[in-house]
Amino acid sequence: MATHAIIIIGTGAIARVHIEAYKEMGNCHIACLCDLFVDKAEKMIEEMGLAGAVAFKDYKQALKMVDADIVSVCLPPGMHAQVAIDALEAGKHVLVEKPMATSLEECDQMIEAGKQSGKLLSIVCQNRFKTPMMKMKSLLDSGVIGPVRYANVNSYWWRGQSYYDLWWRGTWEKESGGCTTAHATHHLDLMQWLLGMPTEVTAVITNMVHTNSECEDLSMAIFRYPDKMAQLTATLLMHGEEQSMVFSGDKARVSIPWSVQANKELDNGFPVEDGETKQVVENFYEALAEVDLEGHPGQIRNFIRAIEGTEPLLVTGEEGRKTIELIMAIYKSSVTKAPVELPLAKDDVFYTKAGFVSQMPRFFEKKRSVENFATETISLGRDVGK
């Protein structure tokens, strides 16, 4: 069995998730942690028992000096593109946390760097690797509920005021957005994976309560397809964070968290339950296989196997780019107050980071900034699909 050495760049809370996932693989070891606050990296090495791992402040030095074949990029979004490109050009396979980058131009530069290096580039979309999502993908692809005509996606989160005190959050320049970019990226990825890319986007955004953020804490978008429509609400205002996805087809409606309903019509056109169809759909769903390794571990296993040539890579850079294109279309529509057709062209002002940042409203001025929080407890959307 081939063995793999890993460099983790960025030692915030998400880095722990990557480390634990690599540990589960059996043929991976963490060789290096990098962070501008090198004491954080040293502390994480000690706390997580990473024997033999070294800490670096300068990731470029680590890429040169540490013998490793894989890099996980666990940094703020504004740093993803350059670090990923440097790692690819250094001959490493690269896994990048979401969102992929802060512009479509950066995404294309990352994808090109992967092609030129011959190394794999993958973007973290861990919710695809969960049983309910894999089952829903198979069910929708099967046509058992008929063509999907309408989908409703709720990216519901709750964050307190201090959430945006972290130095890089709440700015268009560094975080590249609010709840749409940092949180709904999960649901936008799932939506396009399950339904494909829409042809048109209409959206509005606002900031209702997070006064230390330039960016939105509430957005609503409508997606037009040739044969269906979908809508998404993304927010940081929803107590309980009850996230959901609903798909209504010609024959039945299915939802995540899992439920199924089916109607047939009376002679006057009003509905009555179609128990037979409902049971057919329920049986189909229940017969689908469970995922044996979910979330980050499941995706990292696929990444490792793709490197070894035993599985196709399920989340490529091109897949990660699609989510960024949806985000940019939402932002463009919110600014122009008009529908936006996809795909976005390379001469569109929303293709580049500088162009996009120049167009966005500043809902509030960011006045408070801290380097780190006392606690690293975070939620990872683990209930998505449960």
Task: Domain ranges for the chain, please list them.
Answer: 4-126+294-316, 128-291+322-359
Residues 6+ apart with CB under 8 A from 296: 17, 18, 20, 21, 124, 126, 129
Place of tokens 């190394």: 119
Q: According to the model, what pLDDT value does residue 386 have?
A: 53
The CA distance from 215 to 197, in Å, is: 25
Strand stretches in 257-359, DSSP E: 259-261, 263-265, 271-273, 340-341
Cβ neighbours, 10 Å, residue 282: 16
Architecture of domain 4-126+294-316: 3-Layer(aba) Sandwich (3.40)
The CA distance from 109 to 246, in Å, is: 35
**Residue pLDDT tens, the chain, 386 long:** 689 999 999 999 999 999 999 999 999 999 999 999 999 999 999 999 999 999 999 999 999 999 999 999 999 999 999 999 999 999 999 999 999 999 999 999 999 999 999 999 999 999 999 999 999 999 999 999 999 999 999 999 999 999 999 999 999 999 999 999 999 999 999 999 999 999 999 999 999 999 999 999 999 999 999 999 999 999 999 999 999 999 999 999 999 999 999 999 999 999 999 999 999 999 999 999 999 999 999 999 999 999 999 999 999 999 999 999 999 999 999 999 999 999 999 999 999 999 999 999 999 999 999 987 766 666 655 456 55
Rama region for 63: left / alpha / beta (φ>0; ψ in -120 to 50; rest): alpha
Strand stretches in the chain, DSSP E: 4-9, 28-34, 54-56, 70-73, 93-96, 121-123, 148-156, 200-206, 218-224, 229-235, 244-249, 253-256, 259-261, 263-265, 271-273, 340-341
Architecture of domain 128-291+322-359: 2-Layer Sandwich (3.30)
